[in-house]
Amino acid sequence: MINKIVFENVSHSFANKKIFENFSIELDAGKIIAITGANGSGKSTFLKLAGQFIKPDTGKIIAFDDGKIIDKINLRKKISAVAPNMNLYSELTAFENIKFFVGLRDIVLNDTDEFFKRVELDIETKNKSVKNFSTGMIQRLKFLILLAIDSDVWILDEPCSNLDDSGKNIFLKEIKNSAQIGKLILMATNERDEAKIANEIISLPIH
Partner 1 sequence: MKLSACQFISVIRKEFLINCRQRAIFVSMLMFSLTALACISLAIGGTFLESKLLSALLWIIIFFASTALDKTFDDEAITTLKIYGDSQSIFFGKMIFSLISMTALMIFLLPTFLILFDCEVKSPPILLITIFFGICGISGAGTLISAISATASIRSGLFSILLFPIILPIFLLAIDLTSAALLNFEIPISSLITMIIYDSILILAGSILFDYLWY
Residues that bind Mg ion (CB under 5 A): 43-44
Provide, rounded to whole angstroms, the least separation between the CB of residue 27 and Mg ion.
18
CA distances from 129 to 6, 53, 83 (A): 41, 30, 21
Contact 152, 183 (CB under 8 A): yes
> Which residue's CB is nearer to Mg ion, number 36 or number 125?
36
- Tell me the window of 1-9, 87-95, 115-123, 197-205 that interacts with partner 1 (CB under 8 A): 87-95
Site string for partner 1, 28-67 (x = CB under 8 A): -----------------------x-x--------------
Binding flags for partner 1, 141-170, as an x/- string (CB under 8 A) = ----x---x---------------------
**In the complex, least distance from residue 149 CB atom to partner 1, rounded to whole angstroms:** 7
Distance between CA atoms of residues 18 and 12, nearest Å: 6
Residue 7 burial (CB count, 10 A): 20
CA distances from 95 to 17, 120, 146, 155, 184 (A): 42, 15, 14, 23, 27
Q: Considering the rule CB under 6 A, would residue 43 count as an interface residue with ligand ADP?
A: yes
Instruction: Rule CB under 6 A: say whether 189 interacts with ligand ADP.
Output: no
Residue 93: strand pairing partners = 129
